[in-house]
Amino acid sequence: MARTLTAALAATFLFLAASPAVPGAAVRATPARRHTVAALPPVMLWAWEYPQDLRFADPARVGVASLGATAALVGDDVRVTMRRQPLRLAPGAAHVRVLRVELPRGAKPALSEVQAARLARLAAGLARESGVRGVQLDFDAPRSARPFYRRLLARVRAELPDTSLLAMTALASWAMGDAWLEGLPVDAAVPMVFRMGADAGRIRAALTAGRDFTPERARGNLGVDLDEPWPRFLPGRRLWIFVHGSWTPARVERVNRAWAQWKRDST
């Protein structure tokens, strides 16, 4: 996420269906899939690779997007590391699995159809886990990898039932004047407005001036860090919140207070 959710994060995933026969071809999202997003609570907590016990969290107020697997593309290979740390949730909690895709430096990934097919099967497997509502892809794809990412999303969408959520994280720069998110076969894109690097000043200034994200599907969700300022004047957003380390009752209480204040400030 935004350069790497693992190493500090900084980047959630829109709604459309793709034909299995034509990778990348998209059709309008069905009402059933729109419902998968609308049914999520107003706050989603990213639960990264740390021991996470969120049984205390109120499922009516917060859901969880947990890292399920990390896949590194190296040459023609897909090197998968499944989640190792324990995860405990309250009964009935909204739960989305996250697949982190990485391009290690010097790996020279093939970005082949074989790799896309394997990643799609992995993502679909995460989405089919008991109690999971869907899958979110977290891939800070460079411009050269965008065609591959589009094909990958189409493959994942084709593997999932219409009732499963397909989401993606998005660097904030992707959603601010960059048209490539339009038409991707996802139910939700989550612009990440933290650890934005060189784009931070420009994007924060644009949001403060009242400018919104360009793609319609990037306007319903917002990715933030618990320890960074949250953008104001973006009403009606579901917040996806990252924290370094494990979630604790004190941290979730901070989320509840900050969310209530943010909601007041944004209306």
| CATH number, domain containing residue 27 | 3.20.20
Instruction: Decide if 88 is inside a domain.
Output: no
Q: What is the pLDDT of residue 199?
A: 74
Q: 111 lies in a domain?
A: yes
- One-character DSSP codes across 50-97: S-EEETTS-TTTEEEEEEEEEEEEETTEEEEEE--S-EEE-TT--EEE
Torsion of CA 142, 10, 56, 263, to 10 degrees: -120
Is the residue at 6 inside a domain?
A: no
Domain that holds residue 181: 13-83+96-265
Residue 190 lies in a domain: yes
Compute the mean pLDDT over every residue in the chain, rounded to the nearest whole number. Answer: 86
Q: Provide, rounded to the nearest whole percent, the portion of the chain with pLDDT above 90.
A: 61
Taking only the tens place, the pLDDT of each residue in 208-267 is 777 888 888 888 999 999 999 888 777 789 999 999 999 999 999 999 999 999 888 876
CA distance 170 to 214: 12
pLDDT digits (tens, 9 = 90+) for 161-192: 889 999 999 988 888 877 889 889 999 999 99
Q: What confidence score (pLDDT) does residue 73 get? A: 98
Residue 130 located in a structural domain: yes
Q: Strand 16-18 vs strand 26-28: parallel, antiparallel, or unpaired?
A: antiparallel
- Over residues 141-164, the mean pLDDT reads 95
- pLDDT, residue 262, reads 86
- In degrees, rounded to 5, the angle at the alpha carbon of residue 228 between the alpha carbons of residues 225 and 229 is 115
Any domain includes 126 = yes
pLDDT of residue 180: 86
pLDDT exceeds 50 at position 110: yes
Q: What share of the chain has pLDDT > 70, as a percent?
A: 86
What pLDDT does 158 receive? 97
Q: How many domains is the chain built from? A: 1
The confidence score (pLDDT) of residue 186 equals: 94
pTM comes to: 0.86
- Residue 45 bridge partners (DSSP): 64, 241
Q: Is residue 202 part of a domain?
A: yes
pLDDT at position 176: 85
Residue 7 in any domain: the answer is: no
pLDDT 10s digits, 4-37: 443 333 333 332 233 333 333 333 344 445 568 8
The pLDDT of residue 4: 43
Number of other residues whose CB lies within 10 A of the CB of residue 68:
23
